[in-house]
Structure 1
Amino acid sequence: MALIITDECINCDVCEPECPNGAITQGDEIYEIDPDLCTECVGHYETSQCVEVCPVDCIPIDPEHVESQEELHAKYLKITGEAE
């Protein structure tokens, strides 16, 4: 599952540098997460780093992009160039 940033985002700038995949960027009004790059930090960390640092708890799982742990790991391998 990819994550999504809700409109409760206060643009505090702490999530973007924490993303190891570069999935978080500044949108028109709030930060946004690219579901093609979001692995929920699978392959990098035990927990999603953006969720850990978010002061307003506005980063839930995106119901539009449901993925298993195996799918997230495969995406991580593809993004990092480790896929065979």
Structure 2
Amino acid sequence: MRLVVDLNRCQGYAQCAFLAPDVFTLYGDEALLYDPHADEAQREHVLRAARACPVQAIAVDERVEEEGARHGG
């Protein structure tokens, strides 16, 4: 699973950090740090966080990992 956060759109509401704290961390008042290759065990938390984002700044691209798995990568 690959994550992309549009940091220009992110407003620092921190819903993602609350719902998936192992993947998203709010640093200071507005800087968001995140793991772009979140562990598969975090899938449900990450999907909830993406749905909860008030400005829809989080995109979850599951296709990349699936293609990599098919090609042995």
Higher relative contact order by CA 8 Å / sep ≥ 6: 1 or 2?
A: 2
**Between Structure 1 and Structure 2, which shows a larger proportion of strand residues?**
2
**Does 1:11 pair with 2:5?**
no
Q: TM-score by structure 2 length?
A: 0.61
CA RMSD, Structure 1 to Structure 2 (Å) = 3.2
Paired position in structure 1 for 2:56:
57
- Aligned amino acid, residue 48 of structure 2: Q
Alignment length (residue pairs) = 64
| Cα distance in 1 between the residues matched to 2:25 and 2:5 | 11
Structure 1: unaligned runs, 5 residues or longer = 72-84
Q: CA deviation at 1:24?
A: 0.6
Deviating 4+ runs (over 6 angstroms): none
Q: Decide whether the 8 Å contact of 1:40 with 1:48 is kept in 2.
A: no
Structure 2: unaligned runs, 5 residues or longer = none
| Cα distance in 1 between the residues matched to 2:23 and 2:9 | 19
